[in-house]
Amino acid sequence: MSNVINKGTVAEFDAKYGILDLNTPPNTLMCGIYKQSFAYYTLRSRLPVTLTTIINNITRDKDDLVLEFGEKSREEIKNIIGLISKLKYQLQTDKELEPFNGIEPDKEVWNNFINQLESGKNCFFKTCWLYAECYIYRRLSSFFENSQMLTKFDHFAKQKQKALVNSIEFMEEILNVLRKIDCTSDSFRLLLKLNLWGNRCDLSITSGKEIHLDGKPFDLVRRYDNNILIDDSNLIVECLRTDNSKNSVVELICDNAGYELFTDLVLADYMIRSNLIDKVRFNLKAIPWFVSDTTINDFTWALQYLQNHSIPILREYGERWQKLLDENKFEIATIDHFWTSPYEYYRMCDINPDLYARLSEARLLIFKGDLNYRKLIGDFSWNFTESFITCLRGFLPTNVSSLRTVKADLICGLLEGQAESILSTNRNWMTTGDYGTIQFVNRSGISK
Reading phi first (left if > 0) and then psi (alpha if -120 to 50, else beta), residue 394 is in left
Beta strands in 284-377 (DSSP E): 330-332, 364-368
**For helices 157-165 and 296-307, angle between their N-to-C axes, nearest 10 degrees:** 30
State if pTM tops 0.85: yes
Of all residues in the chain, the percent with pLDDT exceeding 70 is 94
- The architecture of the domain spanning 2-145 is Up-down Bundle (1.20)
What are the tens digits of pLDDT across the range 420-442? 999 999 999 999 999 999 999 99
What are the tens digits of pLDDT across the range 142-175? 999 999 999 999 999 999 999 999 999 999 999 9
- Residue bearing the bigger pLDDT, 65 or 7: 65
Non-local CB neighbours of 424 within 8 Å, separated by 6+ positions:
none
How far is 364 from 252, CA to CA, in rounded Å?
8
Residue 204: pLDDT band with limits 50, 70, 90: very low
The burial class, CB within 10 Å (0-12 / 13-18 / 19+), for 189 is: middle
Domains 2-145 and 157-441 agree in fold: no
How far is 412 from 385, CA to CA, in rounded Å?
6
From 3.30.428.10, 3.40.50.10880, 1.10.12.10, 1.20.120.1080, which CATH number describes the 157-441 domain?
A: 3.40.50.10880
Non-local CB neighbours of 7 within 8 Å, separated by 6+ positions:
none
Mean predicted confidence (pLDDT) in 243-258: 89
Mean predicted confidence (pLDDT) in 37-64: 97
Backbone Cα Rg of the chain: 22
Non-local CB neighbours of 33 within 8 Å, separated by 6+ positions:
17, 18, 19, 20, 40, 125, 126
What are the tens digits of pLDDT across the range 307-339? 999 999 999 999 999 999 999 999 999 999 999
What are the tens digits of pLDDT across the range 13-23? 999 999 999 99
Asked if 448 and 440 touch (Cβ cutoff 8 Å), the reply is yes
Domain boundaries in the chain? 2-145, 157-441
Mean predicted confidence (pLDDT) in 261-267: 97
Residue 8: pLDDT band with limits 50, 70, 90: low
